[in-house]
Amino acid sequence: MALQWWQRPIALTEALVAQHTVKLAPEPEGPREGLVKPRAAQGDAADSVGADPITLVVVGDSLTVGCGVERQSDGLVPDMARSIAHVTGRPVHWRSHGRLGGTMRRARFRFLPQVEGHPDLLVLCAGSNDLMARRTAKEWREDLTAAIDEAKALSDHVVVISSGQVYRSPALGSTLKKAILDMTDAQTAISRAICADRGVLFVDMTHHDTGLTDAEFWASDNFHPSKRCYQLLADGVVDQMGEATLRSLCRPL
């Protein structure tokens, strides 16, 4: 339900306060690519270890680069790689291209051109900063549609992840959080429709229930996910992708 007229100045005031009080966690240290082997492939490793790895590339915002944890290896993308490796039994080579504050427009013009080769799976992960920047629905449609089309030219398997759960952030006022939830729901509906039209998978993490309390869900900045939360979000993304989709990424042994 949209804000009442009298709630709008309250949300605006809370947004101005947040600009001066919220101290965002920086991008963590560490390489933004790596190789993950399936857990079953230990010691006398299974034949899958010698196979060409599934290549996973994610472009986008602060979730893409793991803001909220101490090391890149504890972020969303390597966690997704570990979950994919577990489901498929295949090694996964992951790489991320993103930045704190990144929008879908930046993903389109800055990060997608950095993608090399033909990754098995290419994921677009942005949207929260577009909401915070108050980009219009028209601008979101244009940027997401163009980014999907350019991603499909780079990979046969493209996935779009929704905005995160900023509307739950303890660092924000209650009226502002309600406004952000309204905007997030509207953006999610647009994204779902565009993805259906373009024939790509849309993963809705906006309302994904991790089962964590607020203290467990958030990092120290109360704005980005914690290490445990990233793990559960990654599992949720991979679960929504489905085993059949993941198996289709595997090259023959």
pLDDT tens track for 187-221: 999 999 999 999 999 999 998 999 999 999 999 99
How confident is the model at residue 2, as a pLDDT? 79
Cβ-based burial of 81 (10 A; exposed 0-12, middle 13-18, buried ≥19): buried
What is the three-class DSSP state of 29?
strand
Total residue count of the chain as it appears in this document: 253
Euclidean distance between CA atoms 174 and 167, whole angstroms: 9
Q: Is the pLDDT assigned to residue 137 strictly greater than 90? A: yes
Span 174-186, average pLDDT: 96
Euclidean distance between CA atoms 54 and 144, whole angstroms: 25
* Contact yes or no for 151/158 (Cβ under 8 A): yes
Q: Is the pLDDT assigned to residue 34 strictly greater than 60? A: yes
**Distance between start and end Cα atoms, the chain:** 52
* Contact yes or no for 9/176 (Cβ under 8 A): no
pLDDT tens track for 221-231: 999 999 999 99
pLDDT tens track for 64-106: 999 999 999 999 999 999 999 999 999 999 999 999 999 999 9
Output the CA angle 199-201-207, nearest 5 degrees.
140
- Please give the mean pLDDT across all residues of the chain: 93
Burial 28-63 (b: 16+ CB within 10 A, else e): bebebbbebbbeebeeeebebbebebbbbbbbbbbb
pLDDT tens track for 152-164: 999 999 999 999 9
Span 117-124, average pLDDT: 97
What is the three-class DSSP state of 31?
coil
Q: Is the pLDDT assigned to residue 44 strictly greater than 90? A: no
Count Cα atoms within 13 angstroms, Cβ side, for 243.
4
Euclidean distance between CA atoms 103 and 80, whole angstroms: 21
